[in-house]
């Protein structure tokens, strides 16, 4: 299935994403979101003020934002009241004065309501009530369930998020905690996310959690040139790497099991930094909800697991490293279009196999061989370079993506492959990526054309032999 990217019209309510053009909007880009939220847990009531600092990519007499089923009381553009209307998940805005091309402008939206997930072909996605608290799982279309946004992965912005809620609850937001204010019965938590971030990767987690320190690192996030150059080799190369502070929010009843299941978190972080390069954010936060979740969830600098993923036997450790790997692939390096999703999931899957080898489990080649055998039994009807919107999250995209990387490693040899991976991460840090860009960089490290290789592995539905 092949899709051509949609071309936005002036003020269009479509994005440039070829798979989900109804999410995201043309005509502008967002530089910064400032969100001030008040959440009442019992009635599931969210009151918000959002200020978006944007840049017009064309002259705008109107624009639209993605926003869920909230009551909007006021919209301002550059401080002046603007006309607005609702149509589905779109908030249509007509400024009092047109915005010139390349001009910076600010949109303020005041809204209130009961946040509910966004209905989609993948189920209900976004802000969701827990038994006692709330979580946000926005991939790929859930961000409008809690704030007005330009909901497309290629539009990355910085954030400030303030959440006020009942004081017994811990609030974790994707970002660095910069302040916390206690009132009589409520607490205001203020987080900043300075790195460019896609809307779907922003998250809020609210619950009665214990705050657990996994690894402390006062100098984490700062790297000298010599430290960066030290990220060479793979596996047994034990060159020291910077320590990243890591924290967790865990239900008290799961503290003991969590300590076992996440006991090798620091070793994972060290191994992935050695393989991929410096961790791209200042801190890593793990949240374990007190409810079960179908799958773990990645967010910027954060991963969220269900209570069912914690059993004290490391049953789900592959998921732990998978979500950690997404901090590089998916979060720092975000796909420019959802059709490139194999770049997120293929690398996260291959990280599972590399960690298995690093930690004394099955070597990557054995896991690759096992998955190759398994995929041969499945229909050969998916091109992972363009799987189609209905198969974005198909297991074959994940596993064949991992197999593609393993085959590329065999094709180029370890030195070139791991140098390529580090260069891919470093050159695209906090940016957006495409399959075409990855192929071009891979060919530069291989020193030859890899057109036939990538055509076979990425563009051909039939599964090729494993090298």
CATH of the domain at 279: 3.30.2010.30
Looking at the structure, do residues 413 and 442 belong to the same domain, yes or no?
yes
- Supply the pLDDT for residue 237: 52
Quick one: tokens of 169? 């609850």
Q: Residues with Cβ < 8 Å from 336, sequence gap 6 or more?
A: 153, 154, 432, 433, 434
Looking at the structure, do residues 147 and 100 belong to the same domain, yes or no?
yes
- The closest of 413, 412, 409, 418 to 446, measured between CA atoms, is 412
- The closest of 31, 25, 331, 328 to 158, measured between CA atoms, is 31
Looking at the structure, do residues 192 and 63 belong to the same domain, yes or no?
yes
Looking at the structure, do residues 51 and 170 belong to the same domain, yes or no?
yes
Looking at the structure, do residues 290 and 359 belong to the same domain, yes or no?
no
Question: How many domains does the chain fold into?
Answer: 3
9 domain residue, yes or no? no
CA atoms within 13 A on the CB side of 412: 26
- Supply the pLDDT for residue 382: 95
Q: Residues with Cβ < 8 Å from 255, sequence gap 6 or more?
A: 210, 212
36 domain residue, yes or no? yes
385 domain residue, yes or no? yes
Distance CA 203, CA 11 (A): 28
The catalytically annotated residue of 13, 283, 323, 352 is 323
Distances (CA, A) of 11 to 8, 33, 53, 76: 8, 20, 17, 17
Phi/psi-derived region of residue 395, left when phi > 0, alpha when psi is between -120 and 50, beta in every other case: alpha
DSSP string, 364-394: HHHHHHHHHHHHTTS-----TTS--GGGTT-
Looking at the structure, do residues 79 and 94 belong to the same domain, yes or no?
yes
433 domain residue, yes or no? yes
- Supply the pLDDT for residue 158: 98
- Supply the pLDDT for residue 231: 33
For 5-60, what is each residue's pLDDT tens digit?
334 444 568 888 999 999 999 999 999 999 999 999 999 999 999 999 999 999 99
Last residue of a domain, one of 294, 327, 360: 327
Q: What are phi and psi of 294, to 5 degrees?
A: -60, -45
340 is in an annotated binding site: no
H or E element, residue 454 = helix 451-454
Looking at the structure, do residues 360 and 390 belong to the same domain, yes or no?
yes
Looking at the structure, do residues 426 and 303 belong to the same domain, yes or no?
no
298 is in an annotated binding site: no
- Supply the pLDDT for residue 57: 96
Last residue of a domain, one of 277, 294, 327: 327
CATH number of the structural domain spanning residue 155: 2.60.40.1730
Looking at the structure, do residues 74 and 193 belong to the same domain, yes or no?
yes
Looking at the structure, do residues 343 and 443 belong to the same domain, yes or no?
yes
Q: Which residues of the chain have pLDDT under 70?
A: 1-12, 216-239
Q: Residues with Cβ < 8 Å from 259, sequence gap 6 or more?
A: none
453 domain residue, yes or no? yes
255 domain residue, yes or no? yes
326 is in an annotated binding site: yes
The catalytically annotated residue of 28, 169, 279, 398 is 398
Looking at the structure, do residues 427 and 354 belong to the same domain, yes or no?
yes
- Supply the pLDDT for residue 4: 39
- Domain range for 88 is 28-205
The dihedral through the CA atoms of 111, 113, 118, 119 has a sign that is negative
- Supply the pLDDT for residue 234: 43
Q: Which residue has the tokens 């996994």?
A: 214
Looking at the structure, do residues 175 and 141 belong to the same domain, yes or no?
yes
Q: Which residue has the tokens 């109107």?
A: 62
Last residue of a domain, one of 156, 186, 205: 205
33 domain residue, yes or no? yes
Active site residue 398: yes
């Amino acid at each position: 299935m092949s899709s051509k990217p949609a071309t936005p019209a002036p003020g269009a309510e479509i994005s440039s994403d070829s798979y989900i053009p109804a999410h995201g909007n043309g005509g502008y880009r967002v530089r910064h979101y400032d969100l001030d939220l008040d959440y009442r847990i019992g009635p599931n009531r969210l009151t918000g003020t959002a200020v978006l600092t944007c840049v017009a990519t064309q002259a705008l007499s109107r624009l639209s934002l993605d926003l869920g089923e909230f009551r909007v009381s006021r919209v301002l553009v550059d401080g002046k009241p603007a006309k607005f209307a609702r149509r589905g998940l779109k908030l249509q805005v007509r400024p009092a004065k047109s915005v010139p091309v390349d001009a910076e402008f600010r949109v303020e939206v005041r809204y209130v309501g009961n946040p509910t997930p966004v209905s989609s072909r993948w189920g209900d996605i976004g802000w969701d009530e827990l038994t006692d608290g709330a979580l946000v799982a926005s991939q790929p279309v859930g961000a409008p369930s809690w704030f007005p946004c330009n909901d497309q992965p290629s539009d990355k912005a910085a954030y400030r998020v303030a959440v006020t809620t009942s004081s017994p609850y811990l609030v974790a937001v994707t970002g660095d905690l910069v302040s916390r204010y206690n009132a009589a019965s409520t607490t205001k938590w203020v987080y900043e996310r300075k790195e460019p971030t896609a809307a779907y990767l922003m998250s809020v987690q609210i619950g009665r959690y214990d705050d657990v320190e996994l690894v402390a690192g006062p100098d984490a996030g700062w790297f000298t040139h010599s430290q960066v150059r030290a990220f060479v080799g793979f596996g047994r190369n034990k060159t020291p790497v910077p320590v990243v502070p890591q924290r967790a929010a865990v239900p008290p009843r799961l503290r003991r099991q969590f300590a076992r299941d996440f006991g090798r978190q620091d070793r994972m972080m060290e191994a992935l930094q050695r393989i991929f390069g410096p961790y791209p954010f200042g801190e890593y936060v793990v949240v374990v909800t007190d409810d079960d979740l179908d799958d773990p969830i990645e967010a910027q600098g954060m991963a969220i697991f269900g209570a069912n993923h914690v059993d004290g036997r490391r049953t789900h450790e592959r998921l732990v490293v998978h979500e950690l790997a997404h901090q590089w692939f998916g979060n720092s390096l975000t796909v420019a279009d959802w059709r490139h999703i194999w770049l997120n999931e293929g690398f996260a899957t291959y990280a599972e196999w590399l960690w298995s080898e690093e930690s004394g489990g099955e070597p990557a080649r054995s896991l690759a061989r096992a998955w190759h055998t398994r995929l041969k039994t499945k229909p050969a009807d998916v091109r992972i370079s363009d799987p189609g919107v209905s198969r974005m999250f198909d297991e074959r995209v994940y596993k064949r993506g991992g197999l593609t990387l393993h085959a590329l490693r065999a094709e180029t040899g370890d030195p070139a492959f791991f140098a390529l991976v580090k260069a891919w991460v470093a050159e695209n840090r906090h940016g957006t990526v495409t399959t075409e860009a990855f192929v071009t960089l891979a060919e530069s490290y291989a020193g030859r054309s890899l057109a036939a290789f990538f055509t076979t592995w990425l563009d051909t539905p039939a599964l090729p032999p494993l090298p």
